Chains A and B, each alone.
Chain A
Amino acid sequence: MGKPLNEYRVGQVVISKRGKDAGHTYVIVGFLGGGRLALADAKKFNVDRPKAKNPKHVRGTPHVAAKAAECAASQKNIDHGELCRFFALLKEALNVREALNVEDVLNDGLDKMDWLNKKALPDESRDGEAG
């Protein structure tokens, strides 16, 4: 079974695990040369000026910002406003729930975020223990 050259997908939510931004949440908005990810947080880094990050320095989450993924699938530009909306709602959910962990909020699901399609993406545990 062929292995994708790049394990990540546009729209996937990732969390930095290395560097000054460790713990910061991003959405993948594309891929750059050298296998690096193009990341946006709708604040310092956006679709037009993304942060380049080594894939080994982020942790993928099982969640995708569905609107961004849809844009990628239909080869359209990712709308900056949609990314802003995603991060605004994420921030709001964190405040309302007084949660500290982004993944906890995403796992619970974000009410009213109709376009945040909560999907169980990776389950690498299957890898290596098939059956």
Chain B
Amino acid sequence: MIHLKTKEELVLMRNAGKVVADILDALRETVRPGVSTGELDRVAERYIAGCGGTASFKGYRPSHASHPFPGTICASVNQEVVHGIPSDARILEEGDIVSVDVGVYLKGYHGDAACTYPVGAVNSLRKKLLDVTEKSLGLAISAAVKGNTVGNIGYAVESYVLSQGFGIVRDYTGHGVGRKLHEAPQVPNFGKPGRGVTLQHGMTLAIEPMVMTGKEEIKLGSDEWVVVTADASDAAHFERSIVITDEEPEILTPWVSR
């Protein structure tokens, strides 16, 4: 069932989303060569605790997982697409790209967003990957207007990304967000205009294109959480939580664009 949010609920979702955005903005400044993904995790953990919230992901165990996610954030480097487990042993190197996914649960509601950051100077293909993925998110949000469908959102991502010579992840999707981290409907990064659930005022969605430079195949890592590209090509991931309004969609996780 899709839960349409009231004005009062949206106030709470804006608050949770603002915390998420602030953390992502802070982590953008923290990401640099020599920093571990474990350190990024601790920065986020301290920030969330300071706001009186809790990490949405830590301890989260969906039905497909055999054990709960252990980190505050997901930190996925290079060929890791999503759900990388932060670790002090994973040191970022010059030229890497790292996707940071943050979820915050505050006063009964979740905020969920992600950015992929370059670590120092990156090669031209990685730069293009980040540009294309972030732009696809913008196009998807532009398509997320009342009366359109989730198919319009997916089509916006798919058509642009494929035109740029990259691939999309089809096995993981965006989703509704609110009182639960994962609510209905699913928001795939592919589709056809006019297909699927119709977007309505008050619908809150986490839209999250996941894009790779190589083949559209992924596999699950040995920790049963991290999702990696099957051919070890690079991947990027950008995400915002939004609410459908009568006009343009409102962004609930207003992290600052790179």
Contact = CB atoms under 8 A, between A and B. Distances in A.
A97 B44 CA distance: 49
A111 interface: no
Interface in B86-124: 101, 103, 105, 110, 112
Contact of A130 (B56, B64, B65, B66): B56
B63 A3 contact: no
Given A3-B173, A3-B174, A122 B83 contact: no
Interface string A95-131: 0000000000000000000000001111110111011
B174 A2 contact: yes
Give the secondary structure class of A's interface: loop
Contacts of B173: 2-5
Contacts of B242: none
Contact of A5 (B61, B82, B170): B170
Give the secondary structure class of B's interface: loop
Contacts of B170: 5
A64, A123, A128 pick with most chain B CB within 10 angstroms:
A128
Contact of B62 (A7, A64, A119, A120): A7
A8 interface: yes
Nearest to A123: B61
A124 B64 contact: no
Contacts of B144: none
A123 B63 CA distance: 7
Interface string A1-30: 111111111000000000000000000000
Interface of A: 1-9, 60, 64, 73, 119-124, 126-128, 130-131
